[in-house]
Amino acid sequence: MSLMTDKQTLNDLNIFGKSGTNSGIYAIFNNTFTRGGAELLEEMFRYPLADVDTINARSTTIRAFAERGVVFPYEAAWFDAAEQYLQNTDERSRLSDQQDTLGRKLQQLIAGDNAYKAIEKGVEALIRILQATRQFAEDMRRQVADLPYSKALAVMELLLRSEELQPLLQEPAGQKLPFARVAEYDKILRFRQRDEMRKLLLQIYQADVYISVAGIAQRRKFAFPLAVPKEKQIVVLEDFYHPALSNPVVNTLTITPSGNVIFLTGANMAGKSTFMKALGVAMYLGQMGFPVPASKMEFAVRDGIYTTINLPDNLSMGASHFYAEVLRIKNIARELSRDKYLFVIFDELFRGTNVKDAHEATVAVTSAIARRKNCMFIVSTHIIEAGEVLKTQCENIRFVYLPTLMDGYRPVYTHKLQEGITADRHGMVIINNEGILDILARKKSIKKNT
């Protein structure tokens, strides 16, 4: 079962970063040794989990890898050779004893037999992978006998018990194989046991991902999330922050059934968007069963996560920013009507319209979503008057804000969450501090003198 989400949410949370750049949340966790591991990690990011037991099993496994300091006992080059080798399923390339002739040997001495060398390299790589996996499984079996990862080990061990593979497992390390043995092993690996080799590689790529993510969790001191049934309707996040920040300010937030709507206010530049992105990333990683940038996380599993943070205008449709907002809310409303357990973030609702309409729309939409007691919502706005109205209309809205302190005429942003609604508005202070009006006045007087 996978978490429901969409492209807008992936972009808002910068899950994969901008195209052509090595950025985003995926890049933070991608310290894999193999291409197969990197591809599997990307698949995990594209399809987060939505089942309590599966999430906790993955989280427990990664924690075990981190605590035991598990290392990757393979060379990445083995997998490149093995993958290329297994892709060649042409029966005409199958080796036979009759090919081991004096003519072939002379040809190899003179010009080299590239086709044979590719097969030989693939066979040798898979033999090394098999032998390293046998040792890895033996070492891990003693460490994770009572943990969920023991099921993956059982799959590895079953594959390694195949009678046909036993001679390969006994091959002396580093010894060049004669043609006849390469031909025999080629029949086994590339034709008779090809599907099993694919299954084994997938298990190794999974271990590669766990080792990579466990290493990140150790180095960055991330917490391992605990998932609880969705009906509990809780989130407990302590000291969480956005993982892309070098010097982050941490915050703590608790969401309960009696306050499943969080109404966030704060002046421009107070950090509302960053706070919401940090929260969204933590929830997304938690649904993956991955470690999160926090000291503690416990959360009720969601069926879907949807965000509206960096919503672009749809110029191809001729849609204004306001209409793009309306369409986005409409799409999310459709998801809400399916009675799923969702986590939804709305940043600065209706910023694309006038203040009066934005006020009325914010009150109307927020009071409507507050009736969805099976979901959790984070709503930010710069229209504080809407919060005052909602206080009288909805009992399950919790009001929080990010304050701004004044050092003379200079705003200071603490980025620390507080209870209540703020009246902070410092737009004109910032404009005056930057001297914009003085610049405009000066240019006007210069034009007048000329």
List the chain pLDDT tens, one digit each, 450 residues: 799 999 999 999 999 988 767 789 999 999 999 999 999 999 999 999 999 999 999 999 999 999 999 999 999 999 999 999 999 988 888 887 655 554 444 444 434 568 889 999 999 999 999 999 999 999 999 888 788 999 999 999 999 999 999 999 999 987 899 999 999 999 999 999 999 999 999 999 999 999 999 999 999 999 999 999 999 999 999 999 999 999 999 999 999 999 999 999 988 888 999 999 999 999 999 999 999 999 999 999 999 999 999 887 665 555 578 888 889 999 999 999 999 999 999 998 888 788 899 899 999 999 999 999 999 999 999 888 999 999 999 999 999 999 988 888 788 889 999 999 987 666 666 667 777 777 777 754 555 555
Give the residue from 158, 186, 220 where a domain finishes.
Answer: 220
Domain identity same for 191 and 235: no
What six digits make up the tokens of 187?
């029949």
What six digits make up the tokens of 230?
């969705």
Domain identity same for 215 and 255: no
Cβ neighbors of 5 (< 8 A, separation 6 or more) are 48, 284, 304, 305, 306
Which residues span the domain enclosing 400? Answer: 226-443
Q: Which residues of 342-378 are buried (b: 16+ CB within 10 A; e: fewer)?
A: bbbbbbbbbebbeeeebbebbbebbbebbebebbbbb
Domain identity same for 196 and 344: no
Q: What is the CATH number of the domain that holds 262?
A: 3.40.50.300
Residue 30 DSSP label = -
Domain identity same for 183 and 296: no
Q: Model-level pTM?
A: 0.91
Domain identity same for 136 and 281: no
Nearest 10 degrees: CA dihedral of 41, 43, 47, 48?
-10
Q: What distance lies between CA 386 and its chain's CA centroid?
A: 34
Give the residue from 185, 220, 255 where a domain finishes.
Answer: 220
Domain identity same for 212 and 241: no
